[in-house]
Amino acid sequence: MILIIRSKVDPDKLILDLRKRKYQFHIEPFMYFKRLYPKILLDPNAHYLVSSLQAINFLKKNKEIIRNGNFLAIGKKVKKELQLIGVNKIHHIFEDSYQLLNFIKKDKRIKRIHHLTGTVTNEVLNGISKNKGIKYNTKKVYIVKFKRELTPQLRKLVSNQEVKIMIHYSLKVADEFFKRLRKGEKSFFKTNITHICMSDRISRGLNKIGVVEKKLKISKKPNQKSMMLLLEHIK
């Protein structure tokens, strides 16, 4: 049994990939989002950074920024959704946060970034502010909330130790999930479950909370295709 903890809005493509490969899996809708409506004006000399699909829901109501704003995007899916709402000035697309950070260190043309994000921030992206000459602002446009309890179906899978593999897309989500496990369940998940991680950062974070290193597997690239290839090798 493969366990995936994600938001309700993400899993459609993932479900198709898993069914195509005839895997047994459970997707737990573990977090949800509430939109915020801060007043954000067009800043023609800045770049708007979008790293999540949730931020795009806020942008849909800001036609001036859509038409005239300069954008940076993390992920091809984010880029595609930005284009669908009418954004045409996407200056760069990055695979992950680290690629963006390395780019900014070398490219001195970017002077100011407004990151359209949620209440759970990305620690890697917070490092942008350490670069001299760049002003980095986070604009919180949605609230991230986590469910207090696991669903009865997942609680049963966990209690019966049916989960063999867990796929991770977010370190914060993984941390919140572990907080909701009972003592014996935590021990089992840390020592007996294979954890497929989208990034090295997630792997290191899981190792810090006690997951044994030999059970951590890292995707070569931070995308769905690479994650599925890694899963096939494990199976």
DSSP 3-state of 29:
strand
Q: What is the value of pTM for the model shown?
A: 0.78
37 phi and psi angles, rounded to 5 deg: -130, 60
Per residue in 35-56, pLDDT tens? 898 889 999 999 999 998 889 9
**Sheet of strand 90-94: strand arrangement:** 90-94, 70-74, 47-50, 112-118, 135-146, 25-35, 2-7, 165-168, 194-197, 216-218
Q: Parallel, antiparallel, or unpaired: how do β-strands 216-218 and 90-94 relate? A: unpaired
For residues 68-77, give the mean pLDDT. Answer: 93
Structural domains of the chain, ranges and CATH numbers in brackets: 2-31+148-234 (3.40.50.10090), 36-145 (3.40.50.10090)
Q: Which residue has the higher pLDDT, 234 or 177?
A: 177
Q: How confident is the model at residue 193 (pLDDT cuts 50, 70, 90)?
A: very high
Whether 10 has a pLDDT exceeding 60, the answer reads no
Q: What is the per-residue pLDDT for 235?
A: 60
